[in-house]
Amino acid sequence: MIPNSFDYHRATSVDEAIRLMAQHGMDAKLLAGGHSLLPAMKLRLNQPGVLVDIGRLAELRYIKKEGDSLVIGAGATHDDIANSEVARNTLSMLSEAANLIGDVQVRNKGTLGGSLAHADPAADWPAVMIAAHAHIELRGPNGSRTVAADDFFTGFYMTALAEDEIITAIRIPAPPKGTHSSYQKFMQPASRFAIVGCAASVTKDGGVCQKVSVALTGLSDTAFRASNVEAALTGKKLTKENIAAAAQAAGEGVMAMGDHFASEEYRLHLAKVFAKRALMAAAE
Amino acid sequence: MAKKIQVTVNGKAYSHDVDPRTLLVQYLRDVLGLTGTHVGCDTSNCGACTILVDGQAVKSCTLLAVQADGSEVKTIEGMADNGTLHPLQEGFREEHGLQCGFCTPGMIMASADLLERNPNPTEHEIREALEGNFCRCTGYHNIVKSVQYAAKKISKQEKVA
Amino acid sequence: MTNYIGKAVKRVEDKRFITGKGRYTDDIVLPGMTHAYIVRSPYAHARILSVDTSAAEAMEGVVKVFTGKDIAESGINGIPTGWQVNFKNGDTMKEPPHPLLVSDKARYMGDAVAVVIAESREIARDAGDRVEVEYEELPAVADAKKATEAGAPLVHDDAPNNLCFDWELGNPKAEVNEAMSKAHHITTLEFVNQRVIPNAIEPRSAIGHFEESSDKYTLYTTSQNPHLTRLLMCAFVLGIPEHKVRVVAPDVGGGFGSKIFHYAEEALVIWCSQRLKRPVKWTADRSEAFMTDAHGRDHVSKAEMGFDQNGKIVGLRVKTYANLGAYLSTFAPCVPTWLHGTLLQGLYTTPKINVDVTGVFTHTVMVDAYRGAGRPEATYLLERLMDTAALEMKMDPVELRRKNFIPAFDGVTQPGYQTQVALQYDSGNYHGVLDRALEMVGYEKFRKEQEQARKDGKLLGIGFSTYIEACGIAPSAVVGALGARAGLYEVGQVRVQPTGKVSVYTGSHSHGQGHETTFAQVVADRLGIPMDDVEIIHGDSESVAFGMGTYGSRSLAVGGSAIVKSLDKIIEKGAKIAAHKLEASEEDLEFAEGKWTVKGTDKSVGFGDVALTAYVPHNYPAGLEPGLDFSSFYDPANFTYPFGAHVAIVEVDQETGKVRLKRFIAVDDVGNVINPMIVDGQIHGGLAQGIGQALLEGAVYDENGQLINGSYMDYTMPRADDLPSFEIDRQVTPCPHNPLGVKGAGEAGTIGSTPAVVNAVMDALSPFGIKNLEMPLTPERVWRAMNS
């Protein structure tokens, strides 16, 4: 319940936060909403010496249209996204996923950037961001760079984010006309993280799947794109049968995790079920 | 080490030097003596510590006191207005929405957030909105009724006003 | 209006809880208070090679670190158990010592090794990380049945095969075997009634305060029965004089059994305070609560029920292995034996029953009473057998029950029902509750819907449970003969103040049950005074003479009866004073609505007048003592026997195996009801816990004895969106042997609901030929069963 002692700095700008992180090096952690970090610190699973608080930075908390893209500041909370018209209108899976994270209290404080940086293998956002073809904007002492969501999640709680970098924004390209999306989740009943979550977006033209994007979370050490499902459905008529057949490829060849809630085998089964459900919902 | 914070709690301004690792719930309980906010877990699940920070329900066990610097905090102790119970407090009493009382402050505060967003929630919406608050006594049955009672009462009050 | 009994009076205690003014143990701050952090074994079984406290003790703000060695050297005893169950051959049960801190070996993950006392909670926590303990990890066993097998690691060297006791009850085995051999059909099921964790939302907490100037000790603790804690702690553990010890259980945030027991931490904070001459507070984190609060259930059973060709039960045979954990908690030996075996008659006329129970030590947290305690385990066996037998014999589960029900009896004009397993039921009408439940559920209509749903590929199921329980524990002489080491009466004192206001002191303890309201209703109603004139005081050994506390749904039946006994004495003495004032004879007076009236006249004297006269006895009956204050001990004549019928309707998602509880109908008969609102609330809460066990909850230990789901991230608690609103109703069959006619409502919901839900899921899955699955019915278990 009681975290270890640490020094606390509240950054007044992203640039200051980057400076502070550089100054304190490995010992420092960024604190945004704190809903991944503080629980770990209370159990002393994580014992940083310095916290740099970026939770107040208005420059990180926004959701807006920029040209054709939707841009979400890393400091936007899950609740901000859940209630954002512009986010919902861009891809409804954004608000669906936001509403399925934790509980109201967690959504009120937890941030998109924090969740992505933490990269919990059972988190919801990674799958949604991959399916949305999002680009993650990072800034560090040497300037800014952008990493595609597909390349961002590199392993178990691991990302392409360098120690001295901050996620500043998430840029989601406008989906083509006729695109609908959905996020479907089988919840771990205690933590309410995903046992399996599937984000899918489908671009439909005359009942045919022009383009499809599918990503899964919860299944293995990191969220990933289900390319084989996409390949199996692209160009096909969006019938129940075709969707179900394509969903069979979900999780193929994946080393699934297992725990007392769901074995490897069951998770792989759920991947198929939830891929189907997400695709069905998106194709409707 | 210690950081100075200024917070308004239930309408009263406070200023204290706190150890950065002090959780907001510890600040409320140990420093301000506001023990109506409870701690029921250490993994941010149970919701017994739910309070309003700048109008939103948060788990005060998952917020450092320093993070609340400059904020407006409302706890269960601040819900009644000059001795008049808040409709939620009244609802929990009228509908027997509490037994041991330990989860109750958090339940009431989480419900306050709900009714602020959705003044007329369905049973399903109430149950979903309270998924972050555990109660081991009531089976939630009467908690749902308590929130419905409050929703009705608030909408009546607003009509009159 | 002083007519309160049977009214849904709003709760008196709510005012403080809804305004944040409740006073729970962790809210209490004493001057000069220190904070304790307990260093616990991360291993389920390990030899403690060394404990180095020097780094911790060198930290600024650390007052002292005590280890198991300090405890051992002090010569105090360990934590006792309150019930003795011997081996069948007469040998005394194994009762290994349970020291406050261990020095030789840790026997479960969480066993206490050292305690750090510091100026703040933070420093104590930090210093706890600096206590260096060297362990040699040893093989562990967590499963009760495996623990009895040859070669299993021993929890205690002097308990061979990890056996604590073996025990049987009912008809001789030979008689039961004989009956079973003639059965037309035998239904056999093997069960794991899984270990569940009570999880009162308030974690346990204790403050020990020794005052050297007066040689007095005060313990504030999260207890369901402060007097019992005081007795056990003073007489058995610390050897300190009871009259110098005050135990206060202030507001307590739920118990469900887990706060009945005397825990090591309670004695430890007193012991530390005595050493340090300062108050010492310990409050569990939830993680600590998961691994130190006594758990519940954990039975492995094989049960066989025999039927004749008409579906009449001819016999029942049960073998149970009960996991007791690493040490014996306060009521541990009683739960799987006298609270389980005795309930195997159920509502049925089963002529021959034998139950055989083996109590086993394992390298796990202590197991003891959890809401229902033994009775849910018995009910689960019976009610699962009934629905399974109906399926096997192609009978309707409702009809099978009806065929076997004990006929209605009121216990007044008709005698009680003598079971094969030692109990005599007080009164019952079992068809009545079932009929009402069927009416509420719309049984025939549901069966049609179910048929249609199956055609549409939907899996709907209905499950029944008709249960009985034994509450209001119980006559002291009887429980004494069965191994209880304490009496199980209750104490109620009624002190009428000179102004006619009434203070009531009860040994029952309210931690959610609403005694401050229900008891006040009884008192105000009987005395004919306003409820506002009555105050209920509980939870403090200094103000309440004595008490046995709250558990086993006993508060109103036993504690309430003690108060009624005192009220009778008040009214009787009041009549003497009134007669004197009215210059009438006592026999000519009647007492109603708060006054004594000379029959057939308008001459009367009020309760307040009589009270004042009792304390200002200037004009007073000769020979009568002044004052109006009586205390009574009520020792019940029998258990009480609430019963009911529960029905669950579920839908199973065939793709995922996820079960959704669609409806839950409960018709309970808890005898007379004082406050229907509170009784309904008790039922609701009980249902949620029983449903939780069926679908969500269960402790998971790995093969090394590690509790792998010891947090709310991993242990599934029922949440608001996991449950429907409940449909409940009531039947009233008064208890014939206590003055209020009440039976008890605290555990009914939990006892009845679990098998109803599991039966419903089995019904939904019956097209797959599935008959039995282990709880909790997690999606994966159900999915696997459908796909195997």
* Set of chain B residues whose Cβ sits within 8 Å of the Cβ of C252: 100
Interface contact flag, B100 C713, Cβ < 8 Å: no
The answer to whether the B3-78 and B87-156 domains have the same CATH topology is no
Lowest mean pLDDT among A23-27, A260-264, B130-134, C252-256: A23-27
Interface contact flag, B135 C201, Cβ < 8 Å: yes
- Whether C665 and C106 have beta carbons less than 8 Å apart is answered as no
| C300 and C390 part of one domain | yes
* Set of chain B residues whose Cβ sits within 8 Å of the Cβ of C678: 96
Say which of C126, C129, C716 has its CB closest to residue A190.
Answer: C716
Residues 117-136 (C) with a CB less than 8 A from some CB of B: 122
**Nearest CA of chain B to the CA of A282: how many Å?**
23
Fold of B3-78: Ubiquitin-like (UB roll) (3.10.20)
Interface contact flag, B20 A51, Cβ < 8 Å: yes
* Set of chain B residues whose Cβ sits within 8 Å of the Cβ of C514: 99
Neighbouring residues of C544: CB distance < 8 A, sequence distance ≥ 6: C227, C491, C493, C505, C506, C507, C537, C538
Evaluate whether residue C500 is within a structural domain.
Answer: yes
Q: What is the C-alpha separation between C362 and C356, in angstroms, rounded?
A: 19
**Is residue C722 classed as helix, strand or coil in its secondary structure?**
helix
How many A×B Cβ pairs under 8 Å? 86
**Is C252 in the B-facing interface, judged by CB distances under 8 Å?**
yes
| pLDDT on residue B1 | 76
Query: What percent of the residues of chain B are helix, what percent strand, and what percent coil, each to the nearest 5?
Result: 40, 20, 40
Pick from B35, B61, B99 the residue to mutate for testing the C interface (most C CBs within 10 Å): B99
Strands C132-137 and C46-52: antiparallel
| C403 and C524 part of one domain | no
How many B×C Cβ pairs under 8 Å? 179
**Nearest CA of chain B to the CA of C434: how many Å?**
23
Pick from B102, B122, B146 the residue to mutate for testing the C interface (most C CBs within 10 Å): B102
Among residues C225, C234, C206, which one has the least CA distance to residue C369? C225
Task: State the amino acid at position C435 in one-letter form.
Answer: D
Q: How far are the Cα atoms of A184, B121, B141, B155, C225 from residue B124, in angstroms, in the given order?
A: 19, 8, 12, 19, 38
**Which DSSP helix (H) or strand (E) runs through A138?**
strand A135-140
**Which DSSP helix (H) or strand (E) runs through B160?**
helix B141-160
Neighbouring residues of A29: CB distance < 8 A, sequence distance ≥ 6: A37, A46, A48, A50, A51, A52
Q: C397-404 and C375-392 are packed helices; what angle lies between their axes, rounded to 10 degrees?
A: 120
Say which of C125, C714, C779 has its CB closest to residue A190.
Answer: C714
Lookup: tokens for A197:
């979550």
Alpha-carbon torsion, ordered C296, C302, C303, C309, to 10 deg:
160
* Set of chain B residues whose Cβ sits within 8 Å of the Cβ of A102: 132
Say which of A5, A105, A192 has its CB closest to residue B21.
Answer: A5
The residues spanned by each domain of chain A are 7-53, 58-172, 179-283
Which residue of chain A comes nearest to C656, CA vs CA?
A270
Task: State the amino acid at position A23 in one-letter form.
Answer: Q
Which residue of chain C comes nearest to A40, CA vs CA?
C713
% of chain A at pLDDT higher than 90: 99
Which residue of chain B comes nearest to A35, CA vs CA?
B62
Q: Supply the mean pLDDT for chain C.
A: 97
| pLDDT on residue B159 | 82
Q: What is the mean pLDDT of residues C674-697?
A: 98
| pLDDT on residue C765 | 97
* Set of chain C residues whose Cβ sits within 8 Å of the Cβ of B37: 20
**Nearest CA of chain A to the CA of C658: how many Å?**
10
Place of tokens 């008969």: C669
| pLDDT on residue C348 | 98
pLDDT above 90: residue C266: yes
Strands (E), C607-658: 629-634, 643-652
pLDDT above 60: residue C46: yes
C482 secondary structure, DSSP code: T
Task: Indicate the residue among C586, C601, C634 that finishes a domain.
Answer: C634
The CATH number given to A179-283 is 3.30.390.50
Fold of A7-53: 3.30.43
**Is residue C776 classed as helix, strand or coil in its secondary structure?**
coil
Q: What is the C-alpha separation between C503 and C493, in angstroms, rounded?
A: 8
Say which of A44, A190, A266 has its CB closest to residue C780.
Answer: A266
Fold of A58-172: 3.30.465
Which residue of chain A comes nearest to B114, CA vs CA?
A104
**Is residue A116 classed as helix, strand or coil in its secondary structure?**
helix
Which residue of chain B comes nearest to A37, CA vs CA?
B62
* Set of chain A residues whose Cβ sits within 8 Å of the Cβ of C713: 190-191
Q: C561-582 and C515-527 are packed helices; what angle lies between their axes, rounded to 10 degrees?
A: 30
Q: What is the C-alpha separation between C439 and C454, in angstroms, rounded?
A: 23
| C385 and C517 part of one domain | no
- Whether C717 and C697 have beta carbons less than 8 Å apart is answered as yes
pLDDT above 60: residue A174: yes
Q: Cα(first)–Cα(last) distance of chain A, in Å? A: 46
Alpha-carbon torsion, ordered B134, B139, B145, B148, to 10 deg:
30
**Where do runs of H (alpha helix) occur along C238-304?**
264-276, 286-292
Interface contact flag, B39 A1, Cβ < 8 Å: yes
The DSSP string of C671-684 is BS-S-HHHHHHHHH
**pLDDT range class, residue B154, cuts 50, 70, 90:** very high
Evaluate whether residue C338 is within a structural domain.
Answer: yes
Q: Mind listing the pLDDT tens digit for each residue in C635-648?
A: 999 999 999 999 99
**Nearest CA of chain C to the CA of A186: how many Å?**
9
| C130 and C267 part of one domain | yes
Interface contact flag, B92 C18, Cβ < 8 Å: yes
Reduce the secondary structure of C512-557 to three states and give it as a string.
CCCHHHHHHHHHHHHHCCCHHHEEEEECECCCCCCCCCCCCCCHHH
pLDDT above 90: residue C671: yes
**Is C287 in the A-facing interface, judged by CB distances under 8 Å?**
yes
Interface contact flag, B44 A5, Cβ < 8 Å: no
Q: Mind listing the pLDDT tens digit for each residue in C335-392?
A: 999 999 999 999 999 999 999 999 999 999 999 999 999 999 999 999 999 999 999 9
| C49 and C82 part of one domain | yes
**Is C723 in the B-facing interface, judged by CB distances under 8 Å?**
yes
**Is C14 in the B-facing interface, judged by CB distances under 8 Å?**
yes
**Nearest CA of chain B to the CA of A223: how many Å?**
24
Among residues A194, A212, A195, which one has the least CA distance to residue A203? A212
Interface contact flag, C719 B134, Cβ < 8 Å: yes
Is the peptide bond preceding residue C198 cis, with omega within 30 degrees of 0? no
φ, ψ dihedrals at C467, nearest 5°: -125, 160
* Set of chain B residues whose Cβ sits within 8 Å of the Cβ of A191: 45
**Is residue B152 classed as helix, strand or coil in its secondary structure?**
helix
| pLDDT on residue C533 | 98
| pLDDT on residue C761 | 98
Task: Indicate the residue among C592, C613, C634 that finishes a domain.
Answer: C634
Evaluate whether residue C656 is within a structural domain.
Answer: yes
Q: How many domains does chain C have?
A: 3
Say which of B42, B63, B67 has its CB closest to residue A43.
Answer: B42
* ipTM for this model: 0.98
Q: What is the C-alpha separation between B98 and B135, in angstroms, rounded?
A: 9
Q: Mind listing the pLDDT tens digit for each residue in B93-111?
A: 999 999 999 999 999 999 9
**Which DSSP helix (H) or strand (E) runs through C50?**
strand C46-52
**pLDDT range class, residue C1, cuts 50, 70, 90:** low
**pLDDT range class, residue C478, cuts 50, 70, 90:** confident
**Is C19 in the B-facing interface, judged by CB distances under 8 Å?**
yes
Say which of A2, A44, A263 has its CB closest to residue C122.
Answer: A2
| C518 and C626 part of one domain | yes
* Set of chain A residues whose Cβ sits within 8 Å of the Cβ of B39: 1
Residues A77, A79, A85, CA angle at the centre, nearest 5°? 105
Q: What is the mean pLDDT of residues C758-772?
A: 96
Per the structure, the complete domain to which residue C538 belongs is given by: 489-634
Interface contact flag, A44 C655, Cβ < 8 Å: no
Q: Mind listing the pLDDT tens digit for each residue in A3-33?
A: 999 999 999 999 999 999 999 999 999 999 9
Q: Supply the mean pLDDT for chain B.
A: 97
Interface contact flag, B67 A4, Cβ < 8 Å: no
Which residue of chain B comes nearest to A44, CA vs CA?
B42
Strand A135-140: give its sheet, edge to edge.
A63-66, A69-73, A166-172, A135-140, A143-148
Q: What is the C-alpha separation between C128 and C55, in angstroms, rounded?
A: 10
Q: Report the neighbours of B using a cutoff of 3 or more CB pairs below 8 angstroms.
A: A, C
* Set of chain C residues whose Cβ sits within 8 Å of the Cβ of B31: none
**Is residue C699 classed as helix, strand or coil in its secondary structure?**
coil
Evaluate whether residue C466 is within a structural domain.
Answer: yes
Query: What percent of the residues of chain C are helix, what percent strand, and what percent coil, each to the nearest 5?
Result: 30, 25, 45
| C618 and C559 part of one domain | yes
pLDDT above 90: residue B19: yes
- Whether C24 and C253 have beta carbons less than 8 Å apart is answered as yes
Which residue of chain A comes nearest to B65, CA vs CA?
A8
* CATH at residue C556: 3.30.365.10
Q: Mind listing the pLDDT tens digit for each residue in C168-186?
A: 999 999 999 999 999 999 9
The domain B87-156 having CATH identifier 1.10.150.120: the answer here is yes
**Is A49 in the B-facing interface, judged by CB distances under 8 Å?**
no
pLDDT above 90: residue A284: no
Which residue of chain A comes nearest to C655, CA vs CA?
A273
Which residue of chain A comes nearest to C721, CA vs CA?
A189
| C395 and C507 part of one domain | no
Residues 119-178 (C) with a CB less than 8 A from some CB of A: 121-122, 125-126, 129
The residues spanned by each domain of chain B are 3-78, 87-156
Q: Mind listing the pLDDT tens digit for each residue in C231-253?
A: 999 999 999 999 999 999 999 99
Neighbouring residues of A76: CB distance < 8 A, sequence distance ≥ 6: A60, A61, A62, A63, A84, A111, A112, A113
**Is C139 in the B-facing interface, judged by CB distances under 8 Å?**
no
